[in-house]
Amino acid sequence: MSTSVLDRLDLSPNRCFTNLSSAELVERAIAAGEGQLASNGALVCLTGDRTGRSPKDKHLEDAPAIHDKIWWGKVNTPITPAQFEGALEIAVNYLNSRPKVYKFEGYAGADPKHRLGVQVVTEQAWHSLFAQTLFIRQGTKGAGAPVPFKKDWTILNAGKMRLTPEQQAKLNYKSPVLVAQSLTRKIVVIIGTEYAGEMKKSIFYAMNYDMPEAGVFPMHCSCNVDRASGENPALFFGLSGTGKTTLSADPNRALIGDDEHGWSDTGVFNFEGGCYAKCIKLSKTGEPEIWNAIRFGSVLENTVIDPHTRIPDYDSQKYTENTRVTYPVDFIDGAVIPSVCGHPKNVIFLTADAYGVMPPVSKLTPDQAMYYFINGYTSKLAGTEAGVTEPTPNFSPCFGGVFLPRPPVTYAKQLAEKIAKHGANVWLLNTGWTGGAYGTGSRFKLSYTRAFVTAILNGSLAAAKFTPDEVFGLPIPDAVAGVPSEVLHPRRTWKDGAAYDASARKLAQSFRENDRTFDMPESVRAAGPRV
């Protein structure tokens, strides 16, 4: 397959600025009107009308070498090699027409044995700074011993341009926005969206494809270890809004990473060199580690700042609820660098159940672990999307379905193999609602959730007595230190038991409707809700 189109990209030193320092990139971004400094030193940038990923505009090149390995469907939608080639040519021509571009060369994968070299070419300086914070920079402690850079993947970010009607017609494509990825050419083309998270997630997607064949289990999870000993690793799986970043940023624990990891034969390693945290309603008292990490060299996306004081307003949703901050992982005090650790003793699945019917904490059997991992449940809240007037189930396989090129059962089997081999306990931790559904009940107190995590990590919860929940079959502990006993059993927190029963049956049925879409072992299917 020809790479001649990419070879025409003009990266000559007179117009391409490579691996500039964060200070230089911030200065250039401000001079170009791309962003402004907040009072805490962070660079604040706006991403236009795309304030999150554009999944309907993300497409994978359908090449013969990978076709039979891909989980084709809503997540992985194909474009032809000719369409990809055309998009690549449009992006190259556009970037060549700019007076200057920025290039970042770094790594994905803290374990050198499983590392990918990533080249990111952008028109905007702040996008290059974003790449610098999220990937592993050359010459840093996180990169380890210096070696000549070897490029494995290339990201071309032409996000400021949009496909014209003529270009769309030529590509036989019906949107001005296109995020195209080729697993065989190892190229990502971004057109029409300035949301920087597309760059980060495209490489996670690449790792999700490559790692299983290398014997590594790729995971959409955060990871931390005991701060004093550096031992007792824990994994936190969860979709946005379930507490994955918050719970991993613990003053008593040292951070390995907040979002994407691999579990190899030697242990866990971070795919990234930084963190990408939601900062809506961020407070210094609630999340001090994240608050203190936001400083010069970090990037705030779509966050409102006061025009006079430049103080960020983390409560404002003026541009989006999906406000974000990105910063190098070593901005978190005591983070482990390089970001590697041993095998986890505890694996925690996070769900924010807005129905208010799932137990706050459950110890899963191996079959239950596979079942709840494949389903990847959390809730959409009323009002978060047009037409959503009550909580609705949100199932994302493996707690990261939109990033899975391979069928979900591939990753679930890897999980089962890893927990069996290394004797890890698996837990389902509900950070959602109690005493009723969203709008009636209340969210579990963060102090209770942290008490559950403490009991999991110190081993006391594994020694507890458990009783299966009647609807979901989830084992509920009889007691947890620091948590009222009635909180452990959802039905006891509702004023109307019959209303609880109806809501629980409704959610259980949703699980069953969802699990029918997957090919899974019957013992795993039987570990689901009892309906």
Q: Look at residues 129, 150, 180, 175 and name the one whose alpha carbon lies nearest to residue 5.
A: 180
Annotated catalytic, 339? no
pLDDT recorded at residue 381? 64
The residue among 476 and 439 whose pLDDT is bigger is 476
Single-letter code of the amino acid located at 293: A
Tokens of 304: 């409102």
Taking every pair of Cα atoms in the chain, the longest distance, rounded to a whole number of angstroms, is 72
pLDDT recorded at residue 385? 43
Last residue of a domain, one of 321, 340, 359: 340
Number of C-beta neighbours around residue 193 at 10 A: 27
CA distances for 168 relative to 8, 79, 123, 152, 296, angstroms: 22, 13, 22, 29, 40
Annotated catalytic, 220? yes
Quick one: average pLDDT of 156-170? 98
Among 193, 222, 245, 396, which one carries the catalytic annotation? 245
- Residue 462: inside a domain, yes or no? yes
Question: Do 364 and 274 share a structural domain?
Answer: no
Quick one: average pLDDT of 319-334? 93
pLDDT at 302 over 60: yes
Evaluate whether 493 touches 435 at the Cβ level (below 8 Å): yes
Question: Do 150 and 215 share a structural domain?
Answer: yes
pLDDT at 382 over 80: no
Query: For residue range 122-157, what is the model confidence (pLDDT) as tens digits?
Result: 999 999 999 999 999 999 999 998 889 999 999 999
Q: What span, in angstroms and rounded, lies between the C-alpha atoms of 30 and 26?
A: 6
Q: Look at residues 428, 421, 412, 420 and name the one whose alpha carbon lies nearest to residue 466.
A: 428
- Comparing 331-345, 380-394, 452-466, which segment has the lowest mean pLDDT? 380-394
Annotated catalytic, 245? yes
Q: Specify the residue for token string 């049925």.
A: 509
pLDDT at 523 over 70: yes
Last residue of a domain, one of 285, 317, 340: 340
Domain harbouring 243, CATH code: 3.40.449.10
Annotated catalytic, 525? no
- Residue 171: inside a domain, yes or no? yes
Question: Do 283 and 244 share a structural domain?
Answer: yes
Among 28, 115, 244, 278, which one carries the catalytic annotation? 244
Quick one: average pLDDT of 422-451? 95
Quick one: average pLDDT of 149-177? 97
Question: Do 355 and 317 share a structural domain?
Answer: no
Question: Do 203 and 230 share a structural domain?
Answer: yes
Q: Look at residues 280, 282, 234 and name the one whose alpha carbon lies nearest to residue 258.
A: 234
Q: What span, in angstroms and rounded, lies between the C-alpha atoms of 173 and 186?
A: 22
pLDDT recorded at residue 244? 87
Q: Look at residues 246, 131, 101 and name the one whose alpha carbon lies nearest to residue 198.
A: 131
pLDDT at 386 over 70: no
Question: Do 331 and 375 share a structural domain?
Answer: no
pLDDT at 387 over 60: no
Q: Specify the residue for token string 């919860």.
A: 461
Annotated catalytic, 114? no
Task: Using pLDDT thresholds of 50, 70 and 90, give the confidence band for residue 384.
Answer: very low
Quick one: average pLDDT of 386-392? 59
Q: Look at residues 58, 155, 42, 179 and name the one whose alpha carbon lies nearest to residue 106.
A: 155
CA dihedral 456, 462, 468, 472 (to 10 degrees): 40
Among 324, 345, 363, 406, which one carries the catalytic annotation? 324
Annotated catalytic, 443? no
- Residue 530: inside a domain, yes or no? no
Question: Do 128 and 85 share a structural domain?
Answer: yes
pLDDT at 240 over 90: no
Quick one: average pLDDT of 33-58? 96
pLDDT recorded at residue 388? 46
Quick one: average pLDDT of 513-531? 94
Domain harbouring 506, CATH code: 3.90.228.20
Among 59, 137, 200, 201, which one carries the catalytic annotation? 201
Among 220, 253, 261, 418, which one carries the catalytic annotation? 220
Evaluate whether 401 touches 76 at the Cβ level (below 8 Å): no
- The number of distinct structural domains making up the chain is 2
Evaluate whether 173 touches 83 at the Cβ level (below 8 Å): yes
Quick one: average pLDDT of 163-189? 98
pLDDT recorded at residue 239? 87
- Residue 287: inside a domain, yes or no? yes
Question: Do 330 and 452 share a structural domain?
Answer: no
Query: For residue range 208-235, what is the model confidence (pLDDT) as tens digits?
Result: 999 999 999 999 999 999 999 999 999 9
Evaluate whether 313 touches 207 at the Cβ level (below 8 Å): no
pLDDT recorded at residue 391? 72
Containing domain of residue 470, as a range? 345-525
Number of C-beta neighbours around residue 162 at 10 A: 15
Give me the chain's average pLDDT, please: 94
Helix (H, G, I), strand (E, B) or coil at 268: strand
What string of DSSP letters covers 418-485? HHHHHT-EEEEEE-SEESSSTTTSEEPPHHHHHHHHHHHHTSTGGGS-EEE-TTT--EEES-BTTB-G
Question: Do 325 and 378 share a structural domain?
Answer: no
DSSP 339: -
pLDDT recorded at residue 236? 97
Q: What span, in angstroms and rounded, lies between the C-alpha atoms of 452 and 118?
A: 38
Question: Do 87 and 113 share a structural domain?
Answer: yes
Tokens of 501: 């029963």
Among 28, 53, 115, 363, which one carries the catalytic annotation? 53
Percent of the chain whose predicted confidence (pLDDT) is above 70? 98
Among 3, 39, 240, 440, which one carries the catalytic annotation? 240
Question: Do 519 and 376 share a structural domain?
Answer: yes
Name 251's Cβ contacts closer than 8 Å, sequence gap at least 6: 227, 288, 289
Quick one: average pLDDT of 450-457? 96
- Residue 531: inside a domain, yes or no? no
Query: For residue range 256-271, what is the model confidence (pLDDT) as tens digits?
Result: 998 999 999 999 999 9
Question: Do 330 and 190 share a structural domain?
Answer: yes
Annotated catalytic, 324? yes
pTM: 0.93
Task: Using pLDDT thresholds of 50, 70 and 90, give the confidence band for residue 383.
Answer: very low
Annotated catalytic, 127? no
pLDDT at 47 over 80: yes
